[in-house]
């Protein structure tokens, strides 16, 4: 049994608390924002679990973690007492006729990223109409990626918070803490899950550098529209995804801007998101905009997630989940639990064989 303090209760902080609470540890968690998770990147995210589509530009490690996490999420969500939105019916990629060249490049990258396999089905107008009547006659072709899924980010964050509280984790919501403060005050094991909030400490303790990448999304309510899986639009300037959640709510995203500015969504980004959405189907013209939101994706130079370990100071740092946090967090957090166990048992693992993650051991 160990005394553990988790810094940051966004996606990874809550998941670590959830996984570790299955053992007899005494755990406390400090989160700057509320129990809803409103200060995390995870609160803004679309929560798509899309390792096939992300193969276009994600690293092989991220893809492998993404595939492993699909089943892990199913187990986690099914083990929670509340019934949560979870969909594993694939996703559809579409493009306008003039963008056919982009679709060809996309399919080549998709194939390359998925080890040479043609992981998609080619859909024609009839297939699209049959499967998504509200996109009838909008697109001549599409790629259907069968094994992808999505969650509801906000439901998942809240359900995890309820589960860890019920399991006895002492959660201090609305409480910002610093790493120095906690490590000077206690002899606890510390797990730093502060995402972008860990930037200063992260950038002074190891090689890879952490930065935030701004992402903007819209949430709209469109009672006339039903989509049974996420849709991505390939576009030379304004690529877009539409992630349908429960009750006709759609998360529309997302910009990817090299900036750590967390201020409100710009007019330009709002216009781009809305005009791409309208171009997918004008039925969205009467949708109501519920929210425009910004988040910073915690990103490392190499675009992989990283688990750093300082054995002497008893600190595990988890960061760099970038734009794939939901897609990979279960596998990353399970690997972090295994290195934690290995340290408790007195033999420090250098690599997690199951996930392929190499731990970064620092002094
Ligand atoms: C626009 C957008 C869309 C996205 N879409 C997807 C998607 O579709 N699929 C996907 O897989 N991923 C997506 N992501 C990525 C995903 O949200 C992140 O990778 C993930 O949230 C990172 O998890 P984290 O726990 O490291 O950071 P966060 O979720 O940001 O959590 C960090 C937490 O630490 C807290 N914190 C910071 N400093 C302190 C402090 N000093 N004291 C206490 N607490 C502190 C913060 O309040 C926050 O709650 C998206 C991200 C954005 C921004």
How many angstroms does the Cα of residue 72 sit away from the middle of ligand 1?
19
Q: What is the pLDDT of residue 1?
A: 85
Q: What is the pLDDT of residue 132?
A: 82
Q: What is the pLDDT of residue 38?
A: 97
Q: Is the Cβ–Cβ distance between 142 and 92 less than 8 Å?
A: yes
Q: What is the pLDDT of residue 87?
A: 96
CATH 3.30.9.10 domain span(s) along the chain: 86-148+212-300
Q: What is the pLDDT of residue 183?
A: 95
For CA atoms 299, 304, 307, 310, the dihedral sign is negative
State the Cα–Cα distance between residues 135 and 60, nearest whole angstrom.
33
Distances (CA, A) of 230 to 57, 91, 313, 343: 19, 5, 44, 41
Q: What is the pLDDT of residue 92?
A: 95
Measured by CA distance, the residue closest to atom 23 of ligand 1 is 11
Answer yes or no: is the C-beta of 70 below 6 A from any ligand 1 atom: no
Answer yes or no: is the C-beta of 157 below 6 A from any ligand 1 atom: no
State the Cα–Cα distance between residues 94 and 43, nearest whole angstrom.
27
Please determine, looking at this structure, whether the domain spanning 86-148+212-300 carries the CATH number 3.30.9.10: yes
Distances (CA, A) of 275 to 5, 16, 216, 298: 45, 39, 14, 28
How many angstroms does the Cα of residue 309 sit away from the middle of ligand 1?
20
What is the position in ligand 1's atom list of the atom closest to the CA of 175? Answer: 43
How many angstroms does the Cα of residue 288 sit away from the middle of ligand 1?
26
Q: What is the pLDDT of residue 235?
A: 93
Q: What is the pLDDT of residue 356?
A: 96
What is the position in ligand 1's atom list of the atom closest to the CA of 12? Answer: 25
State the Cα–Cα distance between residues 40 and 197, nearest whole angstrom.
9
Q: What is the pLDDT of residue 136?
A: 87
The closest alpha carbon to 69, from 354, 358, 360, belongs to 354
- CATH topology assigned to domain 3-81+152-207+302-361: FAD/NAD(P)-binding domain (3.50.50)
Q: What is the pLDDT of residue 131?
A: 86
Q: What is the pLDDT of residue 156?
A: 98
Answer yes or no: is the C-beta of 42 below 6 A from any ligand 1 atom: yes
Q: pTM here?
A: 0.97
What is the position in ligand 1's atom list of the atom closest to the CA of 326? Answer: 11
Answer yes or no: is the C-beta of 336 below 6 A from any ligand 1 atom: no
Q: What is the pLDDT of residue 155?
A: 98
Q: What is the pLDDT of residue 28?
A: 98
How many angstroms does the Cα of residue 10 sit away from the middle of ligand 1?
6
How many angstroms does the Cα of residue 329 sit away from the middle of ligand 1?
11
One digit per residue, the tens of pLDDT, for the chain of length 363 reads: 899 999 999 999 999 999 999 999 999 999 999 999 999 999 999 999 999 999 888 999 999 999 999 999 999 999 999 899 999 999 999 999 999 999 999 999 999 888 888 889 999 999 999 888 889 889 999 999 998 999 999 999 999 999 999 999 999 999 999 999 999 999 999 999 999 999 999 999 889 999 999 999 999 999 999 999 999 999 998 999 999 999 999 999 999 999 999 999 999 999 999 999 999 999 999 999 999 999 999 999 999 999 999 999 999 999 999 999 999 999 999 999 999 999 999 888 999 999 999 999 998
Answer yes or no: is the C-beta of 298 below 6 A from any ligand 1 atom: yes
How many angstroms does the Cα of residue 272 sit away from the middle of ligand 1?
24
What is the position in ligand 1's atom list of the atom closest to the CA of 328? Answer: 11
Q: What is the pLDDT of residue 179?
A: 97
CATH 3.50.50.60 domain span(s) along the chain: 3-81+152-207+302-361
Ligand 1 pocket test target in 18, 30, 45 with most atoms within 8 Å of CB: 45
Q: What is the pLDDT of residue 362?
A: 92
């Amino acid at each position: 049994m160990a005394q553990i303090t988790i810094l940051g209760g966004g996606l990874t902080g809550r998941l670590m608390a959830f996984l570790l609470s299955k053992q007899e540890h005494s755990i406390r968690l400090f989160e700057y924002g509320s129990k809803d998770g409103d200060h995390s990147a995870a609160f803004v995210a679309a929560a798509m679990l899309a390792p096939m589509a992300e193969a276009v530009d994600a690293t092989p490690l991220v893809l492998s973690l993404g595939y492993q996490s699909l089943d892990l999420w199913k187990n986690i969500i099914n083990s929670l007492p509340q019934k949560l939105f979870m969909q594993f019916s694939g996703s559809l990629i579409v493009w306008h006729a003039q963008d056919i060249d982009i679709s060809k490049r996309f399919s080549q990258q998709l194939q390359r990223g998925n080890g040479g396999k043609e992981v998609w089905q080619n859909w024609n107008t009839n297939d699209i109409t049959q499967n998504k009547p509200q996109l009838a006659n909008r697109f001549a072709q599409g790629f259907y990626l069968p094994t992808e899924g999505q969650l509801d980010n906000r439901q998942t964050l809240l359900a995890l918070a309820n589960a860890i509280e019920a399991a006895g984790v002492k959660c201090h919501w609305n409480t910002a803490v610093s790493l120095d403060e906690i490590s000077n005050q206690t002899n606890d094991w510390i797990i730093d899950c502060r995402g972008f909030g860990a930037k200063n400490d992260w950038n002074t303790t190891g090689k890879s550098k952490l930065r935030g990448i701004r992402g903007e999304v819209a949430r709209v309510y469109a009672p006339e529209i039903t989509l049974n899986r996420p849709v991505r639009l390939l576009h030379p300037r304004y690529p877009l995804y539409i992630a349908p959640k429960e009750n006709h709510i759609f998360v529309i995203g997302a910009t990817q801007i090299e900036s750590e500015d967390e201020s409100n969504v710009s007019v330009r980004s709002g216009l781009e998101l809305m005009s791409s959405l309208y171009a997918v189907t004008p039925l969205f013209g009467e949708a109501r905009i519920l929210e425009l939101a910004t988040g910073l994706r915690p990103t490392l130079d190499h675009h992989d997630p990283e688990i750093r370990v300082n054995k002497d100071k008893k600190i595990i740092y988890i960061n760099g989940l970038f734009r794939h946090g939901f897609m990979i967090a279960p596998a990353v957090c399970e690997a972090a639990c295994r290195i934690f166990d290995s340290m408790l048992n007195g033999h420090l693992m250098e690599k997690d064989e199951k996930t392929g993650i190499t731990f970064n051991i620092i002094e």
